[in-house]
Structure 1
Amino acid sequence: MRHAVAPAEHVENSCFSVTGLLKICSHCEPLVKKDLGVRIPRPLGNGPSRFIPEKEILQVSKVDARTQSIFEDAFAALGRLENISLVMGFHPQYLESFLRTQHYLLQMDGPLSLHYRHYIGIMAAARHQCSYLVNLHVNDFLQVGGDLKWLNGLDQAPQKLQQLGEINKILAHRPWLLTKEHIERLLKAEEHSWSLAELIHAVVLLTHYHSLASFTFGCGIMPEIHCDGGHTFRPPSVSQYCVCDIANGNGHINHHEDLLGNQEVCGEVEVLMERMKQLQECDEEEASQEEMATRFEREKTESMLVVTAEDEESFPSRDISRHFEDPSYGYKDFSRRGEHVPTFRVQDYSWEDHGFSLVNRLYPDVGQMLDEKFQMAYNLTYNTMATHKDVDTSMLRRAIWNYIHCMFGIRYDDYDYGEINQLLDRSFKIYIKTMVCSPEKTTKRMYESFWRQFQHSEKVHVNMLLMEARMQAELLYALRAITRYMT
């Protein structure tokens, strides 16, 4: 049976206990070699992330009992513990909400069959060349009885899934172009038409995996040892982490050094805190609606001038591109010369007042889970900034969230977009736009160049904010188009 796990008395002392991976610690290795006569694979990288030192992630699991418990539950439910979860373990409250939602989308009762769900995950992740997520769901697709032939390419999948290709690419790269006509073509197809409930499920899966691809690239997630690109049989040249340490809390790590290896405290954090304080204390008269609209348009225009990548355009390999159509279709700014896309006003169509109820009506409980996940990422705070305590970060979190929505043409009438330039510097904006719009181009240098004095846990929180803001933006456009079709 797929999700079978060892009895509890065996799990507790097993090197496979929480992880379900093939990584075996040194004292177990000779025994396995002797008994099984196999070569032991070693992880290709050091830890779950290329960007975050492995000792940081080990330390989290060593001291946090709640995180340990969530890891164990995730392993019991899925039969593995993904590196994404290990990195999200910095924020156990969010991780719990994320895993609960993902589990419901993939494994609980819903309009779509299990193999359709994983195939849609493959289609969505492939749009951003995210081989990590593609490989995970190829395995899951086969485990739930998916047809191997479909993996030869989207053209080998059922016509019904092929029809999703158009909204997959639009939502991933230019969601503001989605119209009720796209929805109508799916719901009124002469053959293999979609029901509204099926389409809602599919849209939530597409937006979930587009945004999760952003998080995967933004955190530099490494493939697990049992996945393609995750292991080697060469002897180790540097010390490797053992996931047994994560399972059993045996990290033994000195956590007193600065998280970025820099003992100096530069002025970056203080400058940002001072700007936040000035904005909070500002008692000027509130700007007029006309001025607020002008500031939004100015910020929207400036966001188009932010360059998303240093490298030349890259094209996906055949292994990835076969899972979607039109590989040359990518992100383009929504207001280009000669084009005009109307601003999406949240006051006219919001998640809270419109999207939430539509999802909950057609796919019960999912609206509630998504809402909790959005709120968790947006409101999560420890009232700290780097080494400073008792800091109100709500203004900064709001600026990050609203900047992402601004890049997608979404405007909050009651927000002063002039705050964004005060709080988000250019290197941070480059990182945000790259990770949200073209995540496959995110580099370690981009990750390291913003908020240099902040902790890795804070940067992971930023990535959660970016992921959820992006997912909500895509959902807003999709759900608005569905609502327009229905009315």
Structure 2
Amino acid sequence: MRQATAATETMKNTSLTVTDFFKICTHCERLSKKDMGVRIPRPLVNGPSRFIPEKEILQVSKVDDRMVSIFEDAFATLGRLDNISLVMGFHPQYLESFLRTQHYLLQMDGPLSLQYRHYIGIMAAARHQCSYLVNLHVNDFLQVGGDQKWLKGLDMAPCKLQMLGELNKILAHRPWLLTKEHIENLLKAEEHSWSLAELIHAVVLLTHYHSLASFTFGCGISPEIHTDGGHTFRPPSLSGYCVCDIANGNGVAHEMDRNHLATEVGGEVEVLIERMKQLQECRDEEEASQEEMATRFEREKTESMLVATAEDEESVPSRDVSRHFEDPSYGYKDFSRRGEHVPTLRVQDYSWEDHGYSLVNRLYPDVGQLLDEKFQMAYNLTYNTMAMHHGVDTSMLRRAIWNYIHCMFGIRYDDYDYGEINQLLDRSFKVYIKTMVCCPEKTTKRMYESFWRQFKHSEKVHVNLLLMEARMQAELLYALRAITRYMT
């Protein structure tokens, strides 16, 4: 372990690219052969993602000076470069905004103590069985002086944190059920009550980590070598290869399979581009009435309930994860099931721009601005490309993805024609979206590969950023609306 520690310290104290770091790791492995009797851990998974070839991810840090600078800043701040950041590195502008927001939430002055912040991150990630994020924040929690006793289970944490269990559960799985009574129970408790500012901080952290769990599963993020599930002490098999051998063509077979798939579905991108053109022409020629727009929303909302998530059987969370939350049987249910009626949240009545933003900024200064920049960055991010096509306006497609997620959460935009969604999002894509947003722990590599097979991995990561931010904003809208109703 002495060499591995040396490699980590070297990266902290010098300006290195990700590729340089892996070269140091290779050197450490060579040294270990001479250090008889010392067991050196070996990565279980090749690269930061199980879905994306490592050479594509690491190539980003080689060619983009801005990316190297962002990575170095992340090291200076956190003392690590996690795999989430490496995968987000496909989109440097977004990553910068994301890291700035996360740093503010976790480390800058705020209503909650550092221990509470990381423990809330653990609670939120555990709701989706995201052991990757749980382990990350268990380490951070201990580093900021957190009481190890709390990690034995939620029932060992302070009562004030235990009281967040219900809010965590509803926000993660059925945020539309949140009421002002839930808020009142936290703010007016006889003992261990929350202040409004503390509650806003907690709500932002919960929604941040619920949505980040979606991104983690959606991109197949692998655990780092030093964390649980990230390493083994077994020697590599003859057919295996080291994570450091990026330059030796590893992953080529995977890419050949991917290219073969893309050839088989030929024309997928062209069809999508043509549909966007046709929809734009229809918009220009004729605008649907408000009644028709409302009908199309209800139809899409109903159809979204018929889209199944992953086919796998229900997974039972491990004790390591489940001890951090209550009621493991509580999960996602469709917004409006048969025999139930939950009112639609109309954006013209309560929106992030007109209501949520100002409430957050008033009670937790600067966070509203940071969140708004991050939402806008994900929503407006474009390189005007689709696969190999350049000069493409993708705004219609991005809006369809964002609004479909909000539709699944019962949120309606009066000025949007929901008939466009079925034209632009095919069945396999909808299954992926619904699984990643609502039941992310069920997301599989097969599902990731089954949608947009001609598109680049960087474009799929962009989709996942959209899904993550749309989900976070949807959760926030319901939470902030409940807080507003309590206040008025």
Same structural fold, with TM-score higher than 0.5 when normalized by the shorter chain: yes
1:30, CA displacement in angstroms? 3.8
Question: Judging changes above 3 Å, is the alpha-carbon distance between structure 1 residues 86 and 13 closer, same or farther for their aligned structure 2 residues?
Answer: closer
Name the CA distance, whole Å, in 1 between partners of 2:209 and 2:443: 17
**Conservation of the 8 A alpha-carbon contact between 2:402 and 2:470:** yes
1:313, CA displacement in angstroms? 1.4
Q: For residues 413-456 of structure 1, what are the alpha-carbon distances to aligned partners after superposition, in whole Å with 9 as ceiling and x for unaligned?
A: 00000000000000000000000000000011100000010000
Listed as ranges, the matches of 1:226-237 within 5 Å are 226-237=226-237
**Conservation of the 8 A alpha-carbon contact between 1:129 and 1:316:** yes
Q: For residues 207-247 of structure 1, what are the alpha-carbon distances to aligned partners after superposition, in whole Å with 9 as ceiling and x for unaligned?
A: 0000000000000000000000000112223222239x8xx
Question: Judging changes above 3 Å, is the alpha-carbon distance between structure 1 residues 445 and 159 closer, same or farther for their aligned structure 2 residues?
Answer: same
Q: For residues 185-212 of structure 1, what are the alpha-carbon distances to aligned partners after superposition, in whole Å with 9 as ceiling and x for unaligned?
A: 0000000000000000000000000000
Name the CA distance, whole Å, in 1 between partners of 2:115 and 2:462: 31
1:261, CA displacement in angstroms? 3.0
Give the match for residue 14 of structure 2.
Answer: 11
Give the match for residue 285 of structure 1.
Answer: 286
1:28, CA displacement in angstroms? 3.4
2:25 corresponds to which letter in structure 1? Answer: C
Which secondary structure does the structure 2 equivalent of 1:302 belong to? helix
Name the CA distance, whole Å, in 2 between partners of 1:177 and 1:268: 39
**Conservation of the 8 A alpha-carbon contact between 1:123 and 1:323:** yes
Give the match for residue 309 of structure 2.
Answer: 308
TM-score normalised over the length of structure 2:
0.93
1:242 corresponds to which letter in structure 2? Answer: C
> Does residue 1:80 correspond to 2:94, yes or no?
no
Listed as ranges, the matches of 1:77-226 within 5 Å are 77-226=77-226
Name the CA distance, whole Å, in 2 between partners of 1:9 and 1:223: 19
1:26, CA displacement in angstroms? 2.9
**Conservation of the 8 A alpha-carbon contact between 1:211 and 1:470:** yes
Give the match for residue 370 of structure 1.
Answer: 371
Give the match for residue 467 of structure 1.
Answer: 468
Q: Which segment is superposed worse, 130-139 or 51-60?
A: 51-60
TM-score normalised over the length of structure 1:
0.93
2:268 corresponds to which letter in structure 1? Answer: E
Question: Judging changes above 3 Å, is the alpha-carbon distance between structure 1 residues 260 and 8 closer, same or farther for their aligned structure 2 residues?
Answer: closer
Give the match for residue 455 of structure 2.
Answer: 454
Name the CA distance, whole Å, in 1 between partners of 2:434 and 2:18: 40
1:479 corresponds to which letter in structure 2? Answer: L
Give the match for residue 243 of structure 2.
Answer: 241
Give the match for residue 331 of structure 1.
Answer: 332
Question: Judging changes above 3 Å, is the alpha-carbon distance between structure 1 residues 108 and 295 closer, same or farther for their aligned structure 2 residues?
Answer: same
Which secondary structure does the structure 1 equivalent of 2:303 belong to? helix
Name the CA distance, whole Å, in 1 between partners of 2:13 and 2:410: 54
1:314, CA displacement in angstroms? 1.6
2:225 corresponds to which letter in structure 1? Answer: I
**Conservation of the 8 A alpha-carbon contact between 1:18 and 1:81:** no
Which secondary structure does the structure 2 equivalent of 1:25 belong to? helix
Which secondary structure does the structure 1 equivalent of 2:258 belong to? coil
1:36, CA displacement in angstroms? 9.7
Question: Judging changes above 3 Å, is the alpha-carbon distance between structure 1 residues 9 and 445 closer, same or farther for their aligned structure 2 residues?
Answer: closer
Question: Judging changes above 3 Å, is the alpha-carbon distance between structure 1 residues 25 and 296 closer, same or farther for their aligned structure 2 residues?
Answer: same
**Conservation of the 8 A alpha-carbon contact between 1:83 and 1:224:** yes
Name the CA distance, whole Å, in 1 between partners of 2:300 and 2:90: 32
**Conservation of the 8 A alpha-carbon contact between 2:17 and 2:62:** no
Name the CA distance, whole Å, in 2 between partners of 1:289 and 1:330: 34
Name the CA distance, whole Å, in 2 between partners of 1:64 and 1:192: 49
1:132 corresponds to which letter in structure 2? Answer: Y
1:117, CA displacement in angstroms? 0.2
1:483 corresponds to which letter in structure 2? Answer: T
Gaps of 5+ in 1: none
> Does residue 1:54 correspond to 2:54, yes or no?
yes
2:258 corresponds to which letter in structure 1? Answer: L
**Conservation of the 8 A alpha-carbon contact between 1:224 and 1:230:** yes
1:52, CA displacement in angstroms? 0.5
Question: Judging changes above 3 Å, is the alpha-carbon distance between structure 1 residues 15 and 295 closer, same or farther for their aligned structure 2 residues?
Answer: closer
Gaps of 5+ in 2: 1-7
Question: Paired residues, what number?
Answer: 474
Question: Judging changes above 3 Å, is the alpha-carbon distance between structure 1 residues 12 and 417 closer, same or farther for their aligned structure 2 residues?
Answer: closer
> Does residue 1:344 correspond to 2:342, yes or no?
no
Which secondary structure does the structure 2 equivalent of 1:26 belong to? helix
Which secondary structure does the structure 1 equivalent of 2:259 belong to? coil
1:411, CA displacement in angstroms? 0.1
